[in-house]
Amino acid sequence: MSEAVGELLQEVAIETSPEPEAAFESLRGRGAIITGGSTGIGRATALELAAGGTNVAVNYLDTGPESKVLAAELEGALEPHGVKFLIREGDVRDSEGSAAFVAEAHERLGGLHILVNNAGVGRDRALWRMSDEEWQSVIDTNLTGAFFMTRAVAPFLRAQEFGKIVNVSSVHGLSSEFGLANYCSSKAGLIGLTRSAALELGPANVNVNAVAPGYIRTTRLTDRVPPEIMDRARERSALGRLGDPQDVVSVILFLCSELARHISGVVIPVDGGYLI
């Protein structure tokens, strides 16, 4: 390779490789809602967005004293970033409550541009032993809750002709496993909702996408998974490891940024090659 060509390639590489901070500069000053944001992937997303200058609103399910402590800890972690933020107890299964939260977030943050539907639960059991409540609670939280939130933010995003929605699905929305009939159905349904919303909101310049995490450490869902299943998941992964919340957050931020302005209706697995 000639010296001149080498210098040219070096210049091109420098010009086309922006710093991460510059790549996500489009998120600064935006308003974002993250559901189920006091723990795991939701918490990591809220903190990463705030660190980049995004105003954030988080709701969480009040399950007792521990949930309030976690919400208070999140508030303390958000304060140093100097952004506007809102933390509210709320149940995404409550249609009216979800709409009220969205309206309050819009006012408190000075606008809404991003929705991350992260709230999710699991109630694993063989389908012939699964109760009505175990089925319905998972479907209502993981799928219907995302619909309620999407429906509530849609008027704001359509009016301004701009918005980003990211749904946190799962590899189990793409491939099933024993004992997860309710969870797999809810996450597969969420992928269907993603594609439908992308089609309907696309004319208003709203991008709607989904991430499909594999087995992620330090989340409430995987805390209940037996160690032997986690070990099998690690062995099945092409990369030979489990993921961290930050692995998922990086993809969520990409989809919320203008780097992904021409991507809509897609599902991105973040699974270390689990589905290969």
Residues serving a catalytic function are: 183
Q: Tell me how far the alpha carbon of residue 163 is from its chain's centroid.
A: 15
* 3-state secondary structure (DSSP) of residue 55: strand
The contacts of residue 180 (CB under 8 Å, 6+ apart) are 122, 124, 172
Give the integer Cα–Cα distance in Å for 245 and 44.
6
Query: Quick one: 179 exposed, middle or buried, by C-beta within 10 A (0-12, 13-18, 19+)?
Result: middle
Q: Which of 247, 237, 244, 210 is nearest to 120 (CA)?
A: 210
What residues pair up with 89 in beta bridges, in sequence order?
Answer: 60
Give the integer Cα–Cα distance in Å for 126 and 179.
4
Q: Which of 268, 264, 236, 232 is nearest to 249 (CA)?
A: 268
* 3-state secondary structure (DSSP) of residue 212: strand
The contacts of residue 50 (CB under 8 Å, 6+ apart) are 56, 78, 81, 83, 85
